[in-house]
Structure 1
């Protein structure tokens, strides 16, 4: 039977990389002019514009006069666009961000004349286990990708890729990259080209993508196809090239009676293409920022803005869309990975800073607006505590208070005293600033106090406490102890003994000796990949000479260790076994009187080059696999991948090291104990001492790594040509990460691995607890508090709760307002189904409720019971979204 090679004209337009998006825009403007000319003249039948709409948005903003022409070609099906806003990284970007990326891309595509509903990711560094169900949630049932699939997992290039909830997409795995069709233009060997691209195909219809990075449109494609077809006919090779599209390719494949092959799981193997399995720690500062902003947008700002609509504050959907636009531009695979020039990374950082300022300002304004719209107290000052999560929170929180006196008390609304502990108190002055602080007006003195308290907060709501200042008949006790080297709560005890940290698991009576340390090793890699030097020198960093301070009482206890480590300044010093640079550090271990994890905060003033620092938790668990969360669930991975034995002989592009990505947590568990490490922005982990399938409980999180080049050739873990720009060394001194690097980790020990419980704990531990104090002493609690605002016309009550999630096995990933209706999304992170999962109980009457897809389009009507939304059953790892209209 004659085979058909479907020649698909396209370009892969990296949003930014070793160039900036601004520089690339100039070429894009002229490139799209040429593409439209080629389509209008018939030089090419159709053209796929890389599946991302951010570049289209930029083009039309720069050339608005081309909008009508552009849209006409899209409507005619000649110019193919969508469905992404930017081609996202799938392995370290949160699930909600991936959904918003597709939502924004599809809506822009539809507004321009039509969106290609194809999961097109030709260059993303691996495929997440959750993508089939995300695609299906948008009505997408086909995907095209290149990287990540190995023949050991699946030997063919076509098939169906499924999820545990039953979702499935038909996939096509591009052979040898999205640029393989360049041989059609630059070579005349039709026989070799056919042989190359047909390898591994089940179908007689084979993709031949004709394009490349920022590549011009090939206007001679028709004549080249004619020439190749003549060669094939002369050589009696039963194959024909046709000008085509992915839509036509899949249509032809579907007509064939192919074996029903099913693929499950993630794809992160570097057999046929580089996957950059250690890129998850490149530019760790950017990854920490991104994580903070994803949390703030989806789990703070959007729920808070939804709550505020109950009191007449309009939901600012377009403001949020603009903030999301900025953040999503940093989620393109190169941008998220950090494998860029310093110039480009500066622009990425600027976008993060814009998102940070806009989202924090919006959150702070809403908190202030609601709090200042509460009734004025006749006795005392109000402290309003907010909770943006849909369940009651009972955890200890830290609060900063401004008072005229050094002494004060807190009461709840019933008059009962609320216990708190004072951690720090500093004298401040709010008078006009003076050159000499001794000239400050003493009548303008006040006190800024740091306290901790524990008070139950209503689900997605707020409550009030009352602060009364009192005469200094007694002094509030500052809970500082420079002698005691131990902290504890009902779950754990941490002791500092002879320079080592010891953890006691009180629930099980286990003692973990030297459970926490750091490892410093050389890094001879680049911004894509970690690579150990050929003559590495690993240093175990302990706390033998640390200065110790303990802060806290019953509610919260923190052990603070400060000191300095001597490290090799660079690879040359490391090779010579010389430690010649000082890196100060500060380690804080915090145990609260609640159910939150042991919090580990480590800050290092990095002054060394070309090295990697990992935080090591040495546990007594014996495991051969790890479990890490994914965008909407979890996956299990072996510590030791069998291909490590002969990956070079088998021709793999990079070493299949046990270095893996995570979103928010990684877990080791056996039948009777479970260890979880939570993170706030750390995206890479590794289990050590697990060679040749040995068991291990040594979990290492990569805090950061430092390199000075965008790409380097012939790495130990990645032989061959340099990644990125293979023809030029590009220095990236900013990626040496000099300065303060701070990471926050949580440690939790349980009897068993329960993914829903861990995801909920992560939300409680990592999502801020906003608050607002009614006071005029400190006008700079946020940037704009200095300026006055009107209260709402509707008085805000003393306390309120919009809704409460009464389904412990489900996780709420998003809650927002769309055109006056609440859209709320849940997922079951477990491999087990959840029957009669529970309800969402509202404090207002429900007018109507429906289930919606991931684009928020209605799919069915949902049962309601008075003020409760009945959620029903959830399949394993299923995502479901709902839209609710309240009175």
Structure 2
């Protein structure tokens, strides 16, 4: 006798916090949804379960409007009738960092466990493609399955159930929601209609699913619970008797049943799929969101660098050195505010203009608070550096580097002197007493506000010099340079320019053509990359989700002459600035079938810079966009067909065929990258680093790499000649002025490892931070003690909590990391006891790593990313990280 087929009815809502309505509009509707759900659970014992979309942020949203009903809601969560977690929110996986996905799970699981436990399902219902390392992350969280809605083309696979394997070999049971998360969205109560509807559902389910277990997803975006579902299920039971089982059930129960079915099969009958999942047609993957509203992506990357790469490490290091507390509450707040921008309809840029306006406000708040935290940490660290050998009139220029590579580029720094000192010359000396060359960009007199926690704000007059110079700072460390006023410094003077615009250092020769494109010669091999940096424009009749090709159109390419604005050559760098005006079609024609005949001028200004000793050419692009319904890309031709593209990813370097995804009909075969990607052909490679840009496409049979700068459209949904009023979002057209920062890094394949390119891209993104510290600090603290300041002639002195403690050397590292692994996090453990260090190995071989700090520690002990020690883990000085592995260590101070 065959086992009965089981229909698992899963009551749920998919809750986008913001999308076609704003967050506050949706939050009010969420409050009523949960109110009605609680009433339903009170009165209907047969309504057993409801899923709050696998996320916990909705609880915070509800508590804000219904604080008096918190305990009532939490009772149902504790009893298991309302399921929450494991996520904090449903973030996009390609437009956020791997570390932010970890924090998302950490926060969701922490909240869930306080209420009885998280749903043990790797629930990814509506993500626009799945990152390849997700099985490894789920396994570290104790989750052995993943239920997902996009990324696997069911027509290309024999079953919707697969083993999904990460690059490191971690596996979860993958279960595609082949009819999405609304497969049984609402069922009628009328018996005749119910039978008709269910027969249709049954036929299609049994045709595609061989397991005998069917996920009947009863719900969809923002819908409330079907209050009469128990009655409907009872009618189905009477209709079908012993023929089938109808269960009001949970996703964990369904996952367990399917997993048991998969394990009952011979291993060869269960397909294994590897790495990232980005299959299907374009309106399934929605790859155009990689470049919609690029300003959101740029703001997100700025906050990423501030929070992950600066605030947390500096906070951990200052606490480890006993210089300052960790600021755990502020950092937790920053993470939650930052993650509020990460849901897929938020960071993807496919929502109302008002939604994204609110996001930009959140990003600004993260930047503002991060800036305050960093200013405090830099003040504390710079004040802890020894001033031995300095005169009272001197200053220290404290320079901080949180990347894994020693600094190497030219930076721009403000240098202030009190106006009353009339400083007209100055010298900069490195920690070894050697003079450092610098170039004066500008000088001006200004008034600067002075803030103090114990005196009212004051004002000082300063003479400010803006200088360019090249500090040398160790990896994960700092250097304090002596600034000597009224000394004769080594001032850089610009040199005579060559007859034609070229940039050159010991590694590279860059020859700029009359049309603004440039040829790059890699001197060690003589290989030449020709025609780099050409601009392309194409009409876009798509929407905020996908690029839409204009029928019959060929992309426009700039090939006219450019105007050279400035050229600079000195011992620090060589630079070339050019501009051009491009008359582009105003918009699409009214029927959306072509571009308009009218033209509007869009202006471009490009700055190419090659630093001394640099391996890459930096490229700043300023665009004033006045056109609508189009896409602007910059092109980087290769030396032939690039068969494989390496792309920076989440805890990995993805390897893709040049035409990855070409089997599905897409107007643009766009692919994601995180901070960098690289191509190579005929012995020469090109890596492109880009700040806040995430979309590349290989075109012309894999011989040209394109990076999307702007994609300008204005509708949320598929564009129609007569638009829906609520669908038009004019700010999606990205009119106005925009700045993009990229770098082009030639390399020799086989000589430069992917991990090296990743570290260089990180350094390009993170940059350096500086803090000027006067030795005679009291002269710079001219606040007022009272409003009636005539009653006191001076100011009240501040207390230095670190006075009397050992001073730091003038150069050093706060952390030593040896081994070929990339750093993802340095933070304090959530329980407040240890430093947590997370690393990952993007290589195909294991690597040994050693972590060291400037204070004694007990060594590193491996744990999962939830910071729970593995059973039997022992503290060691050196650890081995397997190929493609993500590892987390706890380090305790002795």
| Same fold, judged at TM 0.5 (above) | yes
Report the counterpart of residue 765 of structure 1 in structure 2: 764
Structure 2: which 5+ runs fail to align? 451-459, 782-794
> Residue 833 of structure 1 aligns with which residue?
845
1:587 counterpart residue number: 606
- Does residue 883 (structure 1) correspond to residue 890 (structure 2)? The answer is yes
Q: For each residue in 1:409-449, what CA deviation from the matched residue of structure 2 results, as whole angstroms up to 9, or x when unmatched? A: 1112332222x23051222233899xxxxxxxxx9562422
What does residue range 279-294 of structure 1 map to in structure 2 within 5 Å? 279-294=289-304
Which residue of structure 1 aligns with residue 76 of structure 2?
A: 73
Q: 1:569 to 1:777 in 2, by over 3 A?
A: farther
Could you say what secondary structure the match of 2:151 adopts? coil
- Structure 2: distance between partners of 1:728 and 1:142: 42
Once residues 136 and 276 of structure 1 are traced to their aligned partners in structure 2, the CA distance between those partners, rounded to angstroms, is: 27
Following TM superposition, by how much is the alpha carbon of 1:451 offset from its aligned partner in structure 2, in angstroms? Answer: 1.4
How many residues are aligned here?
A: 840
Residues 566, 579 of structure 1: 8 Å contact kept: no
1:18 is the counterpart of 2:36 = no
Matches within 5 A, 1:111-126: 111-126=114-129
Q: Which of 699, 708, 733 is equivalent to 2:705?
A: 699
SS of 1:8's partner is strand
After TM superposition, the structure 1 stretch with the greater mean CA deviation from structure 2, 155-164 or 4-13, is 155-164
Distance 1:266 1:858, change over 3 A: same
SS at match of 2:221: coil
Ranges in structure 1 where 5+ consecutive residues have no aligned partner: 434-442, 648-653, 691-695, 716-721, 781-785
Q: Could you report, residue by residue, the CA deviation over 1:111-156 in whole angstroms, capped at 9, with x for unpaired residues?
A: 2332112111111111111110111121121111111101365331
Is 1:138–1:853's contact at 8 Å kept on the other side of the alignment?
yes
Superposed, which structure 2 residues align to 1:485-884 within 5 Å? 485-499=501-515, 500-542=517-559, 544-572=561-589, 575=594, 578=597, 580-640=599-659, 644=663, 655=666, 657-670=668-681, 672-690=683-701, 696-713=702-719, 730-752=727-749, 754-775=753-774, 790-794=799-803, 795=805, 796-799=807-810, 801=812, 803-818=814-829, 819-830=832-843, 832-835=844-847, 837-847=848-858, 849-860=860-871, 869-872=877-880, 874-884=881-891
The structure-2 alpha-carbon separation of the partners of 1:807 and 1:123, relative to structure 1 and needing over 3 Å to count, comes to same
Kept after mapping to 2: 8 A contact 1:863/1:870:
no
Cα 1:643–1:408 change in 2 (3 A) is: closer
Native 8 Å contact 2:573 2:612 kept in 1: yes
Change (3 A) 1:416 1:657: closer
* Structure 2: distance between partners of 1:178 and 1:577: 40
CA RMSD of aligned residues (A): 2.9
In 2 relative to 1, CA 302–524 (structure 1 residues): closer, same or farther, beyond 3 Å? same
Rounded Cα–Cα distance in structure 1 between residues aligned with 2:530 and 2:283: 42
1:439 maps to: none
CA deviations on 1:315-369 (whole Å, 9 max, x unpaired) are: 0112111111111111101001100011111111111111111112211221123
Match runs of 1:39-438 below 5 Å: 39-41=41-43, 42-151=45-154, 153-185=156-188, 188=194, 189=196, 190-233=198-241, 238-256=243-261, 257-260=264-267, 261=270, 262-271=272-281, 274-309=284-319, 310-374=321-385, 377-379=390-392, 380-390=394-404, 392-403=406-417, 404-418=422-436, 420-430=437-447
Q: Which secondary structure does the structure 2 equivalent of 1:182 belong to? A: coil
Please give the secondary structure, in 1, of the residue aligned with 2:256.
helix
* Matched position secondary structure for 2:181: coil
Distance 1:93 1:314 in 2: 28
- CA distance in 2: counterparts of 1:744 and 1:221, whole angstroms: 54
- Gap change, CA 1:38 and 1:432, over 3 Å in 2: closer
Give the direction of change, closer, same or farther, for the CA distance of 1:375–1:748 in structure 2 (3 Å limit): closer
Report if the CA contact (8 A) 1:53-1:105 is conserved.
Answer: yes
Query: Contact 1:596–1:765 (CA<8 Å) still a contact in 2?
Result: no
Shift of 1:669: 2.6
> SS at the partner of 2:188?
helix
| Deviations 1:592-640, CA, capped at 9 Å, x for gaps | 1234422111110111111100010112132234221220112223333
Bigger mean CA deviation after superposition, 157-166 or 294-303: 157-166
Compared CA separation, residues 365 and 541, structure 1 to 2 (3 A): farther
**DSSP 3-state at the match of 1:274:** helix
2:703 match: secondary structure: strand
CA contact (8 A) 2:404 2:759 kept: no
- State the shift of 1:770 in Å: 0.9
The answer on whether the counterparts of 2:403 and 2:759 sit within 8 Å (CA) in structure 1 is no
**TM-score, normalised on structure 1?**
0.89
Partners of 1:390 and 1:805 within 8 A in 2: no
Q: CA deviation at 1:29?
A: 0.9
Conserved? CA contact 1:852–1:881, under 8 Å: yes
Task: State the shift of 1:863 in Å.
Answer: 5.8
1:863 & 1:595 partners in 2: Cα distance? 42
Deviations 1:664-688 (A, max 9, x none): 2112134733221111110101011
CA 1:199 to 1:89, structure 2 compared with 1: closer, same or farther past 3 Å? Answer: farther
Residue of structure 2 in register with 1:719 after alignment: none
Tell me how far apart the structure 2 counterparts of residues 841 and 259 of structure 1 sit (CA, whole Å): 48
Aligned equivalents of 1:397, 1:10: Cα separation in 2: 52
Q: Distance in 2 between matches of 1:347 and 1:495?
A: 44
In the TM superposition, residue 708 of structure 1 has moved relative to its aligned partner by 1.6
- Segment of structure 1 superposing worse, 499-508 or 848-857: 499-508
Note the 1:436-455 alignment, pairs <5 A.
446-455=463-472
Deviation at 1:244, TM superposition (A): 1.1
> Structure 1 residues 714 and 140 mapped into 2: Cα distance closer, same or farther (>3 Å)?
farther
Instruction: Describe the SS at the equivalent of 1:199.
Output: helix
Q: What TM-score does the superposition give when structure 2 sets the normalisation length?
A: 0.89
Any conservation in 2 of the 1:407–1:475 contact (CA below 8 Å)? no
